[in-house]
Amino acid sequence: MDAEVSKLRKRERDAAPEDPSPAKRARLTHTGPQQPGAEHEKVEQAAENTLLQPKPTIPGRLYASFLSDFVDPPLPHEARVSEWLESVGSDRENRCRSDSHLQHSRSNPISRKLTRSAPAMNSAKDADGFTIPPTPVSTGPTTYQAPYPRSITPSGISYATPGSGRSASRSLVENSSYRKVNLAQNNIYLRPLREQLPDHIARLIDDVRKDRDSPGPSVDQVSQDGALNALWMGAAETEVEEYFHTNIFPKPKPSDVLKRCHRQPMAKHTVPKTGSEPKVSNPVPDMLYGYTSDGAFTGPQEAKLFSMNNMVANSLNLISPFFAIEFKGDGPSGGGSMWVATNQCLGASASCVHIVECLNHQLRECGSDPVSSAAFSIAMNGTEARLYVSWKHDELDYYMAHVKSFLLHEPEHYIEFRKYVRNIIDWGKDKRLTDIRNSLDILLEESRKRASEAAKSRRPSDGSATSNGKKHKSSSSRQNSSTSSFKEHSRGANETHWTPDETAS
C-alpha cells in the first residue's frame, strides 16, 4: 500500500501546473481597460488548456478505525479508496461474524469492535510506525470436555473433577482401598498365591480336581466353537454370561434339590461384620448356587432352618449357598475389571461361609462336630476364569485363596474348567447337603431332648402341689367335722345320750 501511495503522489506532482509568480497572478486577475499583449494571450490560452482539479472534500471518516493512527492524510486519489472502505465497512463486520473457521467451535463469536476491556490498538508502535499487537491475556486453564455425552461413556464410567472425591456412580467394590480398609476391618482377607492351605481345604480341592465319568466336550469341539471364539474377540458382560449359562453352569431342574439365583441381593445378616465404620458392600452375585427350601429338606428340617433365621440367603428363600460367580465383559462396548470381580467374590463367598458358621455355632453348643463351611467362587470374563475357595480360618478371620486360573480359549483349559465347575456342584448337591441334613437332625434331636427334660423338670413340682392341695383339703374336712360335732354337742347338752359325728377323723 505504501508503494501505491508513493506512485499517486508522483503523478500528482507531474500533472499539477507550476504556481505562477505574483506578477503573473496580477496580470491574470487584472480587469483594467488595457489591451492584452501577445504574452498575455499565451498565458490565458495555457490557463484554458490546463485542467485544474477541484479540491476534494475530506469525509469525516476516511479509514477504518484501526488505520486512523498511522496513515497520513489522504491525497485526492486516496479519497476514492476511503469512500469505498466506508461503503463496505458495515458489511465487513457482518461477514466476519460468520467466519466460524477463524473461531473455536465451542466459543462465542468474537466482536470486531473494541470493547472497554480490550487494550488500545495504538498503545505501542514499532520503528516503522506499525502498531505492535498486544500480548494475549490468559483466561486460566481450559476445561477438558469429553468427545461423547456423559450419559453414554464406555462402561458407564463417570468423570470426577480434581478434588471432588469419588463419583457417586462408582460402586464401593471399585474403591482402590476396598480390600485394605473395608474388607480387612471386617476380617475378610485374600491370601497370597501358593500359600499352603489348611488340611481340610486341601482335601476338598483334591476332591473337586478328580476326573469325571460323565463325557464332556472334546478338544476339537472346543477348538471349533465359534461362539467361544467370538468371546475371545471381545464381548459384553451379558454375552459372556449367556454363553456360560448354556455351556458350563448347569441349570437345576424344578424337582432338583439345588437352586440357582441371578443378581439377587444377599440378606444383610449374611454379611460378616465387626461393627466397624467401613462396611462390606452388600453382595449381589451374578449367579449363586444353593438349596431349595422344600425340595432339599424334610418338613422338620425346613422348620428348623427357618426358626434359626440365618440360613436363608435372599428373598427367594435360597438356603445355605456355596458357589458364587461374577461375570465381566471385555470388548469394544467396554470392559469390566477382574480386580473388581475378585472383590465381589470376597464379599459373596465370605457371606456363604458365615451362613454355615451360624449353624456350626449351634452344633458346638450341643457338643456336636461342625460341618465344613467352605465355599467356592469364580471371577471370569470371556477369556479368563479364576477359581477361589473361602473358609473360616479361626473364630475371627475369613480367608479366600486362589485355586486355579484358566485360559478359556485353550481347549485343555476349557475342559478342565468345566470339570471343576461340575465337581463343585456335585459336591454341594451330595456331601455338603448330606452334612447339613445330618446337622439339622442333630439339632432337632437336641431340641426334643431339651423339651423332654423341661417337661420332666416340671412334673415333680406339679405332684407336690397336688399333694399339698389334698393335705389342705383333709385338714379342712377335719376342721369342719370338729366344728359340726361341737355344734351338735352344744345343742344336745341337755340330752341323756350323745354320739360323735361319723365323718370326724
> Do the strands 398-407 and 188-190 form a parallel or antiparallel pair, or are they unpaired?
parallel
Which of 409, 425, 452 delimits the end of a domain?
452
> Does residue 381 lie in a domain region?
yes
Cα radius of gyration rounded to whole Å, the chain: 53
Q: Which helix (H) or strand (E) holds 326?
A: strand 319-327
Is residue 130 included in any domain, yes or no?
no
Calpha distance 57→2 (Å, rounded): 23
Q: Are 374 and 353 in contact (CB under 8 A)?
A: yes
Regarding whether 345 and 226 lie in a shared domain, the answer is yes
**How far apart are alpha carbons 341 and 379 in whole angstroms?**
5
Cβ proximity of 236 and 329 under 8 Å: yes
**What number of other Cβ atoms are within 10 A of residue 433's Cβ?**
19
Cα 36 from Cα 178, distance rounded (Å): 119
Q: Are the C-beta atoms of residues 279 and 291 closer than 8 Å to each other?
A: no
Q: Check: CB of residue 245 under 8 Å from CB of residue 443.
A: no
In a domain, 158, yes or no: no
For residue 447, count CB atoms less than 10 angstroms from its CB and return exposed for 0-12, middle for 13-18, buried for 19 or more.
middle
Planar angle of CA 453, 456, 460, nearest 5 degrees: 145
Q: Is residue 384 part of a domain?
A: yes
Q: Say if residue 78 is in the same domain as residue 191.
A: no
How many distinct structural domains can be found in the chain?
A: 2
Same domain, 246 and 369: yes
One digit per residue, the tens of pLDDT, for the chain of length 505 reads: 555 555 556 555 555 555 555 444 444 444 444 454 555 555 556 555 555 555 655 555 554 555 555 555 555 555 666 666 666 554 544 444 444 444 444 444 444 444 444 444 455 555 555 555 554 444 444 443 433 333 333 333 333 333 333 344 578 999 999 999 999 999 999 999 989 999 999 999 999 999 998 888 999 999 999 999 999 999 999 999 999 999 999 999 999 999 999 999 999 999 999 988 899 999 999 999 999 988 899 999 999 998 887 899 999 999 999 999 999 998 887 778 999 999 999 999 999 999 999 999 999 998 999 999 999 999 999 999 999 999 999 889 999 999 999 999 999 999 999 999 999 999 999 999 999 999 999 999 998 988 888 888 876 655 554 555 544 444 444 445 444 443 444 444 443 333 334 334 3
Decide which of 83, 112, 136 is a domain's last residue.
83
Q: Is residue 307 part of a domain?
A: yes
Q: Specify the DSSP element, H or E, that contains 427.
A: helix 411-427
Q: Do β-strands 287-291 and 258-261 pair in parallel, antiparallel, or remain unpaired?
A: antiparallel
Query: 292 lies in which domain range?
Result: 187-452
- The reply to whether 52 falls in a domain is no
Q: What nine digits make up the cell of 479? A: 376342721
Report DSSP state, residue 410: S
Residue 78 lies in a domain: yes
Q: How far apart are CA 53 and CA 75, in angstroms?
A: 12
Does one domain contain both 195 and 67? no
Q: Answer for the pair 109, 103: CB distance below 8 angstroms, yes or no.
A: yes
Q: How buried is residue 270: exposed, middle or buried, by Cβ count under 10 Å (0-12/13-18/19+)?
A: buried
